[in-house]
Structure 1
Amino acid sequence: MTLSLASILAENARRRPNSTALVEGDLRLTFAELWQQSLAQAAALVELGVRPGDRVALMAPNVTEFPRAYYAILAAGGVVVPVHLLLTAEEVGYVLQDSGATVLISHAATAAVAAGAASAAQVPLVTVGPAVPVPGAVGRLEELTGRATPLTHFTARQPEDPAVVFYTSGTTGQPKGAILSHLSLVMNATVNAFDANHVESTDVALGALPLFHTFGQTVSMNSTWRAGATLVLLPRFDADAALALMVREGVNTFHGVPTMYIALLEAAKRAPELPRLRLCISGGASLPVPVLERFDAVFGTSIWEGYGLSETSPTASVNQPDFGTRAGTVGHPVWGVDVEIARPELDDRIELLPAGELGEIVVRGHNVFLGYLGRPEATAEALVDGWFRTGDLGTKDAQGFISIVDRKKDIVIRGGYNVYPREVEETLLRHPAVAEAAVIGLPDELHGEEVCAVVILAQDAEQRPTADELIAWSKEHLAKHKYPRRVEFVDAYPLGPSHKVLKRELRARFSR
């Protein structure tokens, strides 16, 4: 049996070749055109030495070059390793080395960071997009494509073969590569399109979520194309520009994180005309109920809130037309997936709890990942008795609606992006004046949560930095979404019986 995520684009090229697949500015590509371009780039990748199963890193914004190269990698039989655009060269280098990437494809806009990372990791760099000189690059993919004979079909893969490796991390170490299979990603796109959301081939969706992120990649891109609908790309989200673009292109579908919906509501006050939206999906962080209610009043459509993780392809549950929506919940499990509540204190087995009880959210089904790349112990901790332990706490009521109550892990979700406290803490500890650091998330109206570092300075520090100075220093060493926007100084932390820092007490103290 064979199955490839590349089929999503290939089948549309066969079934609806002349339908518009992609819109970016004045550029319009049909499914046939985009697929032929991807096959041509796939041939160039094969010429570069990419073989089935090889991991190829892809670093590009929401422009045509991303989906074209994404499907080219898949067509060549490669495994896509999307690279977060906010990472530093050092962080990108880590992803390249940890994933064992054989090639890094970078858009010209990110080439400066990519070149430094590729050089340090000794990975060949290929650029896409505008022709700009990039030191160390082996070539420009568009030029290399002109010298290769396009493939006639994509390379066959097995359903359980890896298709994409998403880099994520917990609170206990370096980012980990979550391996997603062709089966998981094809099924998640299919279920999102036809069971959860009822996407029509005549729909037009705005691709405003980053395509390097699992939400944007599966829900915005792959699910939209699974249904044969049109994707309109917005390279950088700006609420005013988004509304104008949606009106101009007749967009009726929007996928976003809560901060995007908040921004759209503000922009709507200035807009001369609003788009006629039919389907709106929210994820990435909890959607405040007042925002949902205001959006419904202003735009005349409901927001269907869902829940998922990189390890679950990502969609695990969502408010769905078949079950109705309930504000403040993340709806019901998607087709073919089980989402239950388990006793959080049990590490070696899964014991499910009855309806209404608080516990750890666990997931099993076709959407669950294969494991963490090169980390069997972390995989064994996450996959127990056939269930994926999410680390999130929640409840499931008698009607099957799931609610996220808190996070077992101390992940901070800022504007839909995960920020992992230990990574920030370890960076802060590199500062010569910092003795201890505890990073917490504090409620924030705009971003959902804001990163706050509670710091104990070294007693023998020659210079004692101010909060602003430490923030500026952090900004130089961490990605834009990670560095703390707030720093508080304390003489000691509240400690539990095992001398663990009681972050809940820090949150309570500094949230006032």
Structure 2
Amino acid sequence: MVKLFTAPETAAQLQIELDTLYRYARSGDLRGVKVGKVWRFTADDIRDFISARGHHPPTEDHAPRLLQDALRNAAKESGDQTKFICGTERLSYAEIDRYSDGLANRLVARHVRSGDRIILGLPNSAAFVIACFAIWKARAVVVALDPAMRSTNLQHILERAEPTALIAEPSFVERVQEMPGVLRFFRVFFLKDPSAALPETAQIAVESLQTAIAGDLETGALPAGARPDDLATITFTSGSTGVPKGVMHTHESTLACASFTLNFLELSKTDVMVVPLPLHHILAFRRFLTCFLAQSTALIAPDIFVALSQFPVLRPTGLVLVPAACNMIIDTFASFFRHNGNSLRYVEIGSEPMSPERLSALQAILPNTQIHLTYGLTEGRVGYLKRGPRGVFNRLAGSNDGLQVQVVDGQGQPVAPGETGEILLRGSGLLKGYLGDSQEALTSIRNNGFRTGDMGMMEANGDIQLMGRMDDILKVGGHKINPREVEAVLQRHPNVAEAVLVGLADPRKIMEVKLHAFVVPRKDAVPTAAELVAHCRLHLEPYKVPASIQFRASFPKTTLGKIQRHLVTQEAQGAAVEEGDPSQGPNNPVGA
């Protein structure tokens, strides 16, 4: 099979700008083939171009092997250009490189060693990004946390991570001090306000984060010998259980994830990517690293509201969203985006599925913008989705070139077309393992791949259809039911905003489990259980129709607006569903 090179890979081989490569390809000077919306080139295409133009690129490989290399490359290439924007902060990559050197030196001076885990508890800011690169330059590991996370989860994470240093705001330190026993792990705090009072028994050094970043203190040589397989990040994710577990990624796997996104979106130095999400979240974290790798401009904002003010000035070419922000654009900011969104080349949507109707509404607002739905996990960046039947984005489209995606049975063997199984990942961009894993478990991921817990079906044409989470599947009367299918049908009703389907014990003992749907109505809508059941009966097999429906004002969600399904299920299982008149309106429990 002929190997096809992506546009960024080809530009790197020819040592030309990506924009220049696209110009050559569109003019026909560089022969290539367009697969969908992306360019691909063969080795013969590249050789013919070199021969025809007498172009001989250097043979040295400049691809970064460490995250700090990506920053240094970007700093060297972009010079004093403003490339990072966050609120009133405007920095070049060269400034971020210099400031991170200063903080890295202070980390080393405070005896931070290779492999030490450093807690990062900062909001979106230049300091967050500077701290990440400083930690990597010191050969330590970034553990970025949500400053507002629940105290029980925070204490669990600190006890698991056993960190040696903390980079945060004083309010974060105040919370840490309230947790018995965790202060013993720390040797130093770098704080925006170093006057924070600590117990005398803590024996923790406290330094000013601003002074350390400025590099005004005594410095020395940074540690050498870093390797691509060194641990770079530990990201704590609750998964479906609600108990945080630490996902470990190396420099190599983190760069592979960023490289895939860069290649798929064909990013270049001229792109301006807007990331209106908290940087501690994996979606935003990977995108800001992609900007450094592509040497694009990154506009970081805490939410979509703050980001809007920059659109008329910066004319961004890319926007990263979660469904909650998409809904805000559709319902509140449609007019703004019709007038100010025409510079957008693409929109990426991650974290949660979206209904075809809402995606069509977004596309109508941005008719000339490519809309991409991502598929990935904290454990690995997989790919993007394309439309399947009924317009649902549930087919795997572009996937990481170095990643093998399979659908396997319980014994790890590939399933036949038309059969369902678990999605298995092998190759680049995968986690090294979970914090605390045995060596045997780490070796198993490396040799046998990672079982995602996602259910998929291999279709006859080779496409993989996503079918939801394995542990979400409900068994009712001998039938297996995917909650996402029922929820999607409910959400197609014009009066329904959100829905979650759970399985509850049947109080009548006729079935072991009965289906119960929680529904959040659209604003000012007053649906009844009877009309929603009738709607389901039109579109679903009888055994998939909910036996009861309960209305509520909202669902518990993460900071990114992702429904915490495990909390909804726990709440439902812990309280009996009150049976009532099917004609009752929203916020009243009803049976149907």
TM-score range, shorter chain: 0.7 to 0.9
Distance apart, 1:108 and its partner CA: 4.4
Do residues 103 (structure 1) and 103 (structure 2) align? no
Q: Is the 8 A contact 2:272 2:297 kept in 1?
A: yes
SS of the equivalent of 1:126 reads strand
**Could you tell me how far apart the structure 1 residues matched to 2:517 and 2:77 are?**
48
Partner AA of 2:275 in structure 1 = G
Q: Is the 8 A contact 2:351 2:562 kept in 1?
A: no
Distance apart, 1:156 and its partner CA: 3.6
Q: CA RMSD in A?
A: 3.8
**Could you tell me how far apart the structure 1 residues matched to 2:362 and 2:260 are?**
26
Q: Which moved more, 1:287-296 or 1:110-119?
A: 110-119
Do residues 407 (structure 1) and 469 (structure 2) align? yes
Partner AA of 2:168 in structure 1 = S
Question: What does residue 346 of structure 2 align with?
Answer: 279
Q: 1:213 aligns with which of 270, 277, 281?
A: 281
SS of the equivalent of 1:178 reads strand
SS of the equivalent of 1:241 reads helix
Q: 1:231 aligns with which of 298, 308, 315?
A: 298
Could you report, residue by residue, the CA deviation over 1:235-269 in whole angstroms, capped at 9, with x for unpaired residues? x21x3433333333222211122222112222324
**Could you tell me how far apart the structure 2 residues matched to 1:152 and 1:445 are?**
60
Question: What does residue 451 of structure 2 align with?
Answer: 389
Could you report, residue by residue, the CA deviation over 1:334-357 in whole angstroms, capped at 9, with x for unpaired residues? 2111111111xx2xx411113342
Question: What does residue 126 of structure 1 align with?
Answer: 189
Task: Name structure 1 gaps, 5 residues minimum.
Answer: 414-439, 447-466, 494-508
Question: What does residue 272 of structure 2 align with?
Answer: 204
Would the alpha carbon gap of residues 249 and 109 (structure 1) be closer, same or farther in structure 2, given more than 3 Å must change? farther
**Could you tell me how far apart the structure 2 residues matched to 1:280 and 1:490 are?**
40
**Could you tell me how far apart the structure 2 residues matched to 1:57 and 1:182 are?**
18
SS of the equivalent of 2:113 reads coil
**Could you tell me how far apart the structure 2 residues matched to 1:215 and 1:511 are?**
39
SS of the equivalent of 1:261 reads helix
State the identity as a percent.
24
Could you report, residue by residue, the CA deviation over 1:261-286 in whole angstroms, capped at 9, with x for unpaired residues? 11222232453842221121122121
Q: Which moved more, 1:376-385 or 1:400-409?
A: 376-385
Would the alpha carbon gap of residues 334 and 442 (structure 1) be closer, same or farther in structure 2, given more than 3 Å must change? farther
**Could you tell me how far apart the structure 2 residues matched to 1:89 and 1:59 are?**
13
Q: Which structure 2 residues correspond to residues 147-162 of structure 1 after superposition, within 5 A?
A: 147-150=216-219, 155-162=224-231
Partner AA of 1:4 in structure 2 = L
Could you report, residue by residue, the CA deviation over 1:358-410 in whole angstroms, capped at 9, with x for unpaired residues? 21111111111111111229947983852200001122434444332121134
**Could you tell me how far apart the structure 2 residues matched to 1:118 and 1:441 are?**
41
Q: 2:174 aligns with which of 101, 112, 124?
A: 112
Question: What does residue 316 of structure 1 align with?
Answer: 382
Could you report, residue by residue, the CA deviation over 1:62-84 in whole angstroms, capped at 9, with x for unpaired residues? 11111110111001111111113
Do residues 307 (structure 1) and 375 (structure 2) align? yes
Normalized against structure 2, the TM-score is what? 0.65
SS of the equivalent of 1:21 reads strand
Could you report, residue by residue, the CA deviation over 1:301-353 in whole angstroms, capped at 9, with x for unpaired residues? 231112111111xx112149xxxx9844342322111111111xx2xx41111
**Could you tell me how far apart the structure 1 residues matched to 2:591 and 2:83 are?**
46
Could you report, residue by residue, the CA deviation over 1:453-507 in whole angstroms, capped at 9, with x for unpaired residues? xxxxxxxxxxxxxx9xxx9xx99xxx998695794477889xxxxxxxxxxxxxx
Would the alpha carbon gap of residues 72 and 395 (structure 1) be closer, same or farther in structure 2, given more than 3 Å must change? same
Question: What does residue 288 of structure 1 align with?
Answer: 355
Normalized against structure 1, the TM-score is what? 0.74
Distance apart, 1:89 and its partner CA: 2.9
Would the alpha carbon gap of residues 442 and 5 (structure 1) be closer, same or farther in structure 2, given more than 3 Å must change? farther
Q: Which moved more, 1:327-336 or 1:253-262?
A: 327-336
Partner AA of 2:333 in structure 1 = A
Q: 1:179 aligns with which of 240, 248, 267?
A: 248
Question: What does residue 248 of structure 1 align with?
Answer: 313
Task: Name structure 2 gaps, 5 residues minimum.
Answer: 1-62, 199-204, 474-482, 485-515, 523-549, 578-588
